[in-house]
Amino acid sequence: MDPLRIAIAGLGTVGAATVRLLHDNAALIQARCGRRLDIVAVSARDPRKDRGVDLSGIAWFEDAAAMAAAPDIDVVVELIGGSAGTAREVCQTALAHGRHVVTANKALLAHHGTELVRLAEQRGLTIGFEAAVAGGIPVIKGLREGLAGNRIAEVHGILNGTCNYILSEMRQTGRSFADVLADAQRLGYAEADPGFDIDGIDAAHKLAILTSVAFGVAIDFESVHVEGIRHISADDIKYAGGLKYRIKLMGIARRGEDGVEQRVHPCMIPEGASMAAVEGVFNAVVAQGDFVDKVAMIGRGAGAGPTASAVSADLVDIARNRQTPAFTVTADRLTQSAPVPIERRFGAYYLRLMVDDRVGVLRGIAGALADAGVSIATFFQDHRAPGEPVPVVMTTHETFEAAMLRGLDAIRSQDFVHDHCMIRIEQF
């Protein structure tokens, strides 16, 4: 069988690792799929940069879109990144010229995935994106193929290694968010501009993709409720531990009779839950099916090696001529599901308030929550130096988020409140 001819757009850490993997494991991969996988073209900004891989004999293109249109290429691997611009042009050009596409670009898929998949299917082509969600964990294949016989009711997980590292380090060391973030940047776990990670956007991109694959619905990134971890303090981590919880940034998608809820936000999880034990830069995804019950997948969610591993899995499928609908069903069968707003969430809550230490404060807090229909489950007040705001910490019984927000709005309007933090409690 003729070799599969591959062009790689983007030679950053993942691109270079993909070149290295396809070279080092060439014989193994050929034995598994019955043909060679040959890199015939690459594109990146600086042809003089040493990337630690041998690129001799490989055609070099300064223009990635031009490479995607070049003859004698079977598949284009897009590793440029970004939700539009060059990355989108490369994928559109490749599909228009009859090339399969493999991408690690979760932002592109979250915003334009349905469009690109429809274009691929119209031309009988594959668009593979195992590397776009949870790095080296084969979660897309697990949902799409391994659980194909199940009706999936829920997918949830830790989808961003940067946030998980920060929250894990804060818990283990007692250091502040800002201090641990600076450390994560120094170690390369966080970007110089970490906003996409710590504000929850990266996890939301991944959740939107998982939702589509799990439920067979069109990607609806705009309906994902997104909160990050900037507001989580060392005190919140400490108080969570005292209450026998751990704080994790979670992505949660659930399908019910009223539609699909998609949300990314910090959660307090019982210490004994399996998700609470996932630490550092690791990711984890749990899917719940009607016949299989719960399936958990844990592994490295980012990094050059794990991501290259996921890219290679898609390339092997293409080399084997194995085609599976990208989102479990073909694009024309994706349904439009009604989004369930966050205000309809029903569950318990953690609330920390920084308040003046004076008469009437506790009565004002309790009264505001009671008027909103929120019942307090646990309550304590920590100590501070005289004259400083004091932390008041509580958890609530289960209630609708709309009621919790009404109570919180009433509390924040009081002149004795200086700061607050609300975290949803999830019993995974």
Per-residue pLDDT at 190 = 85
Q: Model confidence at 382, in pLDDT bands (50, 70, 90)?
A: confident
Taking 90 as the threshold, does the pLDDT of residue 388 lie above it? no
Single-letter amino acid, residue 230: R
pLDDT in tens, 364-373: 999 999 999 9
For the segment 303-318, the average pLDDT, to the nearest whole number, is 95
pLDDT in tens, 397-423: 999 999 999 999 999 999 899 999 999
Class of CATH domain 139-300:
alpha beta
For the segment 303-331, the average pLDDT, to the nearest whole number, is 94
* pTM of full prediction above 0.85: yes
Per-residue pLDDT at 337 = 87
- Told to judge if 238 belongs to the known catalytic residues of this protein, a careful annotator would answer no
Q: Burial-class residue 183 by CB neighbours within 10 Å (0-12, 13-18, 19+).
A: middle
Class of CATH domain 4-132:
alpha beta
Q: Burial-class residue 317 by CB neighbours within 10 Å (0-12, 13-18, 19+).
A: buried
Single-letter amino acid, residue 228: G
Question: Which residue from 3, 40, 33, 35 is spatially nearest to 19, judged by alpha carbons?
Answer: 40
**Span(s) in the chain for CATH 3.40.50.720:** 4-132
HEC secondary structure over the chain: CCCEEEEEECCCHHHHHHHHHHHHCHHHHHHHHCCCEEEEEEECCCCCCCCCCCCCCCEEECCHHHHHHCCCCCEEEECCCCCCHHHHHHHHHHHHCCCEEEECCHHHHHHHHHHHHHHHHHCCCCEECHHHCCCCCCHHHHHHHHCCCCCEEEEEEECCHHHHHHHHHHHHHCCCHHHHHHHHHHHCCCCCCCHHHHCCHHHHHHHHHHHHHHHCECCCHHHCEECCCCCCCHHHHHHHHHCCEEEEEEEEEEEECCEEEEEEEEEEEECCCHHHHCCCCEEEEEEEECCCEEEEEEEECCCHHHHHHHHHHHHHHHHCCCCCCCECECHHHCECCCECCHHHCEEEEEEEEEECCCCCHHHHHHHHHHHCCCCEEEEEECCCCCCCCEEEEEEECCEEHHHHHHHHHHHHCCCCEEEEEEEEECCC
CB contact set of 179 (below 8 Å; sequence gap of 6+): none
Q: Model confidence at 386, in pLDDT bands (50, 70, 90)?
A: confident
Which range is most confident: 42-56, 123-137, 375-389? 123-137
Q: How far is CA 352 from CA 178, 393, 427, in A?
A: 19, 5, 20
Mean pLDDT of the chain: 95
| Residue % of the chain over a pLDDT of 70 | 100
Beta-ladder partners of 127: 101
Class of CATH domain 343-425:
alpha beta
Q: Between β-strands 100-103 and 75-78, what pairing exists: parallel, antiparallel or unpaired?
A: parallel
Q: What is d(CA 311, CA 14) in angstroms, rounded to the nearest whole number?
A: 9
**416, 356 in Cβ contact below 8 A?**
yes
Per-residue pLDDT at 188 = 83
**Span(s) in the chain for CATH 3.30.70.260:** 343-425
**Span(s) in the chain for CATH 3.30.360.10:** 139-300
pLDDT in tens, 275-295: 999 999 999 999 999 999 999
Catalytic residue among 49, 106, 141, 206: 206
Place of tokens 């019910």: 256
pLDDT in tens, 12-48: 999 999 999 999 999 999 999 999 999 999 999 887 7
CB contact set of 64 (below 8 Å; sequence gap of 6+): 9, 10, 43, 80, 86, 89, 90
Q: What is d(CA 215, CA 254) in angstroms, rounded to the nearest whole number?
A: 9
